[in-house]
Amino acid sequence: MKNGAIAALLVVAIIASAGVGYYIGLNRTPSTSTGSSSEKTQTTTSVTCLLTVNAPLYLIVKNDSGIPIPNQPLSIQAHLLEGFAYNSTTGECDAIHSTHVWSNLTGTDGKIELGFTDDTFNITTNYLGKAYQVNAVAGGAESAECLTLNLPSGIVKTTFSAPFSYQC
């Protein structure tokens, strides 16, 4: 295959996988080795797994009247996407996650950015003596995913911003 054809194949793979969030690209690299009597060229193939579109996940904490709750303490456990590894058995890209635990506060607007596409979160907060838990997987690929937690009702609403808009 010529380099132009490989590049075109990779562009098609990127476009086709935008909703999936990753693509598998083949890189063919010729290498030359010199022997005593002749020169040999060998083509090696490597596989690249890349995230094509990465969109943020936000949590917005409001009271039941719709007023943002600033500085609301949150305990966050997350499985964050670190990258992908090619699995030659399945021919797919397997996600590699790492686990992190931290505490944070919502901003003055009651909002906090948690992570990006394919990150998984378990968020706990206490409000007026009651514990609330929100579980979420950042699933937005072409827009921000916005979770709104209303307190004290505990109602969670998920919305997405306009396409290719990354703010709630």
The pLDDT tens digits of the residues spanning 3-38 come to: 443 333 333 333 333 333 444 444 434 444 455 555
26: phi then psi, degrees, rounded to nearest 5: -100, 130
Question: Can you spell out the DSSP letters for 40-59?
Answer: EEEEEEEEEEEE----EEEE
On whether the CB atoms of residues 62 and 68 are closer than 8 A, the answer is yes
pLDDT bracket for residue 69 (50, 70, 90): very high
Topology adopted by domain 53-160: Immunoglobulin-like (2.60.40)
Residues facing 61 on adjacent strands: 149
136-141: list long-range contacts, CB under 8 Å, 24+ apart.
136/57, 136/59, 138/55, 138/56, 138/57, 138/114, 140/55, 140/56, 140/57, 141/18, 141/19, 141/20, 141/21, 141/53, 141/55, 141/117
The pLDDT tens digits of the residues spanning 93-141 come to: 898 999 999 999 999 999 999 999 889 999 999 999 999 999 999 987 7
pTM of the predicted protein model:
0.70
Q: Where are the domains of the chain?
A: 3-50, 53-160
